Amino acid sequence: MQTVLISGAGVAGLTLAARLLRHGFAPTVVERAPGVRPGGHAIDVRGVALGVLDRMGLLEQARALRTRMRGMSLRDADGTEVWRSTERTFSSGRLDSDDIELLREDLTALLLGPAGEAEFLFGDSLTALDEHPGGVRAHFAHAAPRTFDLVAGADGLHSAVRRLTFGEERQFLRHLGAYVAVFSTDNFLCLDNWQEWLRDETATYCVYPARDNTELRATLGFTAPEPLALDRHDTEQHKRLLVDRTAHLGGATPQLHRALWTAPDFFFDPMAQVRLDRWSAGRTVLVGDAAHSASPLSGQGTSLALAGACVLADELARADGDHGTAFARYERRMRPFVALNQALATENPGGAAPEASLDKAKNALTLDAA
């Protein structure tokens, strides 16, 4: 039984843990947060990723948790409605699609079920990785050092595993010209399964209700042609910057500015992609955003995480202990799929990708037999 340390208890990490358990591995998941993280925006599961949920026995539960948007409105910077649709929303596309839009925290709660037999180290993080012929010695901020057969970095855009294995993240992040915040607040707009967008050339917000219309999920962002010199851990700095860069917007912007100061789940990050020449080194491998973030602009980050974790686990099972072969097969299968999905963001800046491009990208991978 091979031991695998997985850094990150998000979509990629929990999916990988669940699939490794099914194949007889012994996964341990280390997560900096005290538990599976709450909050986050609504995410999409599309194409081949629906097949991943299906083979995990979670597809029907995910469909039951999908958002129920009736449509959306688009407003100009002053708050005047300029367009509306009852056929699609910017976040999820066609409302009659078989794709699933659900809250990120609802998906991770589902994934925690089949991943539940893994060992979890919450409230801890990796500080060093030392590989030797028999495994990888992992050092933690709190737990005692331990040796694992393999290490998987499923720890997102700012991956610690990637930094410890490949170097500082600035080498691998491709800035896409914007910063975005996501947070929850009360449904002060009394929206009834309706999404509202307001934007101009430099800033935007999107709000939509959740939890039976009792709360709002808000996304608030601004353009920035070059990366800003920010302290990634200084939330107060992020909030001040966000208020300053969006102060000119009308509509519900003043209420959103008041709400973000007390939001329990405020999250702020650049729109960026991750580009690496390889996703593994020795006994360490990257999966999900840590390996190939496509950014929220692609609408495919969650599907890439689900599919990549499933492929990685299946290839490790096929390789019968030969992790080098497994990592090479995983990367060979995933690279074309990732390229198509990253292009959804980079080839259509400022607008949704054409449906034909999305349909091609979301189905450009075949899963092995379950």
Give the residue from 155, 143, 168, 181 showing the smallest Cα distance to 268: 181
Residues 6+ apart with CB under 8 A from 287: 12, 13, 16, 152, 153, 154, 279, 305, 308, 309, 312
CATH of domain 3-67+102-172+273-362: 3.50.50.60
- Kindly indicate the confidence band of residue 289, based on its pLDDT and cuts at 50, 70 and 90: very high
- Kindly indicate the confidence band of residue 370, based on its pLDDT and cuts at 50, 70 and 90: low
The confidence score (pLDDT) of residue 353 equals 66
With 80 as the cut, is the pLDDT of residue 110 above it? Answer: yes
- Kindly indicate the confidence band of residue 179, based on its pLDDT and cuts at 50, 70 and 90: very high
| Cα separation, 221 vs 241, whole angstroms | 10
The confidence score (pLDDT) of residue 355 equals 81
Give me the sheet containing 135-140, strands edge to edge: 126-132, 135-140, 146-148
With 70 as the cut, is the pLDDT of residue 352 above it? Answer: no
With 90 as the cut, is the pLDDT of residue 236 above it? Answer: yes
Q: Please give the share of the chain, as a percent, with pLDDT higher than 70.
A: 98
The confidence score (pLDDT) of residue 91 equals 86
pLDDT single digits (tens) 5-51: 999 999 999 999 999 999 999 999 999 999 999 888 999 999 999 99
The confidence score (pLDDT) of residue 368 equals 83
- CATH architecture designation of domain 176-272: 2-Layer Sandwich (3.30)
pLDDT single digits (tens) 13-24: 999 999 999 999
Q: Within 10 A of 63 (CB to CB), how many other CB atoms are there?
A: 14
With 70 as the cut, is the pLDDT of residue 351 above it? Answer: no
Q: Range with the lowest mean pLDDT among 92-101, 167-176, 177-186, 282-291?
A: 92-101
Across the range 177-192, mean pLDDT stands at: 97
Across the range 52-69, mean pLDDT stands at: 97
Which sequence spans correspond to the domains of the chain? Answer: 3-67+102-172+273-362, 176-272
The residue whose two tokens read 């490794």 is 20
Beta bridge partners of 7: 30, 153
Average pLDDT of the chain, as a whole number = 95
Better pLDDT: 179 or 359: 179
Give the residue from 73, 43, 40 showing the smallest Cα distance to 184: 40
Cβ contact 118:24 at 8 Å: no
Q: Please give the share of the chain, as a percent, with pLDDT higher than 90.
A: 91
- Kindly indicate the confidence band of residue 350, based on its pLDDT and cuts at 50, 70 and 90: low
pLDDT single digits (tens) 296-324: 999 999 999 999 999 999 999 999 999 99
With 80 as the cut, is the pLDDT of residue 369 above it? Answer: no
The confidence score (pLDDT) of residue 285 equals 98
The confidence score (pLDDT) of residue 233 equals 93
